Amino acid sequence: MNKSYLWLILFSLTLLSPFAGTASLDFGTIFETNSLSQRIFLELRLPRILLAFVVGGTLGLAGLLFQTLFRNSLMTPFTLGVSGGAVLGAGLAIKLGLTFIFGLSAVSLFGFFGAFSTVLLLIVLSRYLKKAEQESLLLLGIALSFFYTSALMVIFYLSSFTETATIMRFTMGSLSVVGYESVLTISFFSAILLALLYFKRFELQLLSISDEQASLKGINTKQLTYLFLGVSSLAIGVLVSLTGPIGFIGLIIPHMVRKVYQKPVSSLIFPVFFVGGFFLLACDTLTRFISVGSEIPIGVITALIGGPFFIYLIISKQK
Amino acid sequence: MKVSNLKVSYDETTVLENINFNVEKHLCILGSNGSGKSTLAKALCGLLPYQGSIQIQGYELSSLPPLQRAKKIAYIPSKMESFEQFTTVEEFVLLGRYPHKASFKNYSLEDKNIVKEVLTELSLSELSPLRLHALSSGQQQLVLIAQALAQKSSILIFDEPTSNLDPKNTALFVKELQKLRTTFTTILITHDIQLAAFFDDPVIFIQDKKAELFETDFFQTEHLSKAYGINFKNENGLLGVAYE
């Protein structure tokens, strides 16, 4: 696959994006002040496009970071149980009937703490692992995910029908949004992550070889790894608490960009962010085009497209 | 490099203790598998915490900031590892310039020129656009050396450099090493007695957590046999294990 094809496909779907959705948009009246079309465009479609883009970009970046840091292509915040933690936190808030804490959405707050505490737990547990045992960390993440799923089942078991439906809705992930609050919140943390990775790209490149090599070149690896994990889990925690878990992006986008660009991690930061952003936007556009009545959850689409594409990437021989 | 009363421990288990030596120009570290050769090498690079003292050009190793340390010591591992398949030789060697790079900035033109010089010096210029995984183990070993040279450190530590090389590549490596020895201080860790005997440097032999220094004459069959506890022979100047 070549770079220009990749961008062409992603761009054309982006151009179509504002017009996809249950309410149809009339291009003629979009620039008329206070017209219905303009309100749909500014209050529903545009924030959603921006949200999809920034969420996709952030998920891709976090995936790239985790894969590089742990030198394992299966390591993403999601495979390590971070999203599981967020879902459990959100589920708990819904079951407890909490709506707002200090003016913030309780579901988001609990979701955030679920994700963030999972990362902290993984950092603490990983200190008991030897350097070479990165695979054990993945197993820890998988074990945590199973634990969270079972704990969520217990919550389901104890919940009423309405509560169950609300929790289910959250676990499916969604980009439905009105206004710009979520977009701005996620963008803020995403920008910090993007800047950190960009300014520390050569350090990241050395870490991709080994912690030892990075130390030998004069990097304080422990400090830097904690900084990377801290900032990325903050971004992921905030993101998951607002949109619910959206899988597959963090896993496939770094892979796809690596295969297409064939460059080391220091040159992949922006490509991963943009491809991740456009990819989720494209998936979201598709979701809105094919949805009849109620919307198909975005996570379903990313996995349906991502899965087969990922298999193709793995088995297709590249030069 | 001056080492005195060095003690290195992993999780409260002492691996090496009471180590004393002084490297004027070159040093060879020998010992059986698991005796602690690599541990000593890592401690000398500043990768492990230690008790006692390791002085480099008058500075205590543990008190040197990491970047300064990297400008003084480079370590060449026995094998190339990389999670990323798409790094080219040139990009990989450029990483050796990291300690000299201004923070938050890209590698400078000077860095890139140094990389070019080093690659030319090691006759690797033709390989520079190739990706690491396309190289043979012999070429990879040379690329690792190139990265260390680009680092411009005065001490080079080689950790079993010939363990993955065939005789031809070993010969090539030795030829390069001979050239490097004229400008750098080298510390060679190896199992290859023939290679060590060829250079005939002072030897640190590690056994039972202790290290013994042999300034000269280590490569005589009786010394070797006593140190390793097996028989060595020397036939027509060719040193080797006397297999039974």
Query: Which residue of chain A comes nearest to B153, CA vs CA?
Result: A217
* Whole-Å CA distances, A31 to A28, A39, A44: 7, 10, 15
Contact A218 B74 (CB under 8 A): no
Residue of B nearest to A267 (CA): B87
Residues B32-43: tens digit of each pLDDT? 888 888 888 889
Say what the pLDDT of residue B99 is: 93
pLDDT band at A219 (very low <50, low <70, confident <90, very high): very high
List, in order of start, the domains of chain B with CATH numbers.
2-241 (3.40.50.300)
Min Cα separation B14/chain A (Å): 17
Chain B residues touching residue A197 (CB < 8 angstroms): none
Q: Mutating which of B61, B82, B84, B158 best tests the A interface, going by the most A Cβ atoms within 10 A?
A: B84
For A251, other C-beta atoms within 10 Å of its C-beta total 23
Which residues in chain A have Cβ-Cβ distances shorter than 8 Å to B65?
A: 218
Q: What band does A23 get if pLDDT is binned at 50, 70 and 90? A: low
Residues 224-283 of A with CB under 8 A from B: 258, 261-265
Q: Show which of residues 62-121 on chain A sit within 8 Å of chain B, judged by CB atoms.
A: 67-68, 71-72
Determine, for residues B95 and A206 on separate chains, whether the beta-carbon distance falls below 8 Å: yes
Residues 6+ positions from B53 with CB-CB distance below 8 Å: B2, B3, B4, B5, B6, B60
- Which of the two residues, A28 and B61, has the higher pLDDT score? B61
pTM exceeds 0.95, yes or no: no
Task: Tell me what percent of the residues of chain A surpass a pLDDT of 90.
Answer: 28
Best CATH choice for the domain A3-315 from the list 1.10.3470.10, 1.10.40.30, 3.40.1190.20, 3.40.50.970: 1.10.3470.10
Q: Do B47 and A68 touch (CB under 8 A)?
A: no
In sequence order, which ranges of B151-192 are alpha helices (DSSP H)?
167-180
Site from A200, A217, A221 to mutate, B interface, most B CB atoms within 10 angstroms: A217
The answer to whether A265 contacts B75, with C-beta atoms less than 8 Å apart, is: no
- Cβ of A208 and B83 within 8 Å? yes
DSSP assigned state of B82? -
ipTM of the complex: 0.87
Judge whether B11 is closer than 8 Å to chain A, CB to CB: no
Instruction: Say what the pLDDT of residue A317 is.
Output: 53
Give per-residue pLDDT as tens, A247-272.
889 988 998 898 888 899 999 999 99
Contacts of A258 in chain B (CB under 8 A): 84, 86
Q: Percent of chain A, pLDDT > 70? A: 93
Residue A177 has pLDDT above 80, yes or no: no
The whole-angstrom distance between A217's CA and the closest CA on chain B is: 5
Q: Does A219 touch chain B (CB under 8 A)?
A: yes
State the Cα–Cα distance between residues B167 and B164, nearest whole angstrom.
10
- Least confident residue range of A84-98, A281-295, B93-107: A281-295
CB < 8 Å to A264, chain B? 84, 86-87, 91
**pLDDT attached to residue A123:** 79
What residue spans define the domains of chain A?
3-315
On whether the CB atoms of residues B185 and B23 are closer than 8 A, the answer is yes
Q: Which of A74-83, A265-274, A306-315, B21-30 has the highest mean pLDDT?
A: A265-274
The CA–CA distances, whole Å, from A36 to A23, A30, A107, A295, B166 equal 10, 8, 31, 21, 76
Residue burial B19-52, b: 16+ Cβ < 10 Å; e: rest: bebebeebbbbbbeeebbbbbbbbbbbbbbebeb
pLDDT score, position A319? 41
What are the φ/ψ torsions at residue B212 (nearest 5 degrees)?
-115, 135
Q: Which regions of B78-163 does DSSP assign to beta strands (E)?
A: 155-159
- State how far the alpha carbon of B49 is from the alpha carbons of A213, B10, B131, in Å: 17, 9, 35
User: A293, exposed or middle or buried, with CB in 10 Å at 0-12, 13-18, 19+?
Assistant: exposed
Cβ <8 Å between B86 and A258: yes
Contact A177, A47 (CB under 8 A): yes
